[in-house]
Amino acid sequence: MKKISKQFSLFVLVIGLFFSCGLKTSEKINSTSVNKQIKERKIKRIKEPNIVEKGYAIGTTISTSFNQETPCGTIALTSMPDSVSQFLNKVWIACASPSNEIEKSLWDAYHYNIKNDYALNSNIQKIHLSKTEDAYLYSFPYLSDGKLRILQVELNHKALVLALY
Domains identified in the chain and CATH numbers: 48-163 (3.30.450)
Mean pLDDT of the chain: 87
Helix or strand or coil: residue 94?
strand
Helix or strand or coil: residue 109?
helix
Quick check: 136 and 155 in contact, CB under 8 A? yes
Q: How far is CA 95 from CA 12, 52, 63, 100, 146, in A?
A: 88, 25, 16, 14, 12
Rounded to an integer, the average pLDDT of 2-10 is: 71
- Res. 4: pLDDT tops 70: no
Helix or strand or coil: residue 80?
coil
Q: Measuring CA to CA, which residue among 153, 165, 135, 136 is closest to residue 85?
A: 153
What is the predicted pLDDT for the residue at 20? 67
Rounded to an integer, the average pLDDT of 71-94 is: 91
17-28 residue pLDDT tens: 766 665 555 557
36-60 residue pLDDT tens: 888 778 788 889 999 999 999 999 9
Task: With cut-offs at 50, 70 and 90, classify the pLDDT of residue 155.
Answer: very high
Residue type, 102: I
What is the predicted pLDDT for the residue at 156? 95
Residues 6+ apart with CB under 8 A from 160: 51, 54, 55, 58, 87, 136
Quick check: 155 and 62 in contact, CB under 8 A? no
- Percentage of the chain beyond pLDDT 70 is 90
Single pTM value for the model: 0.73
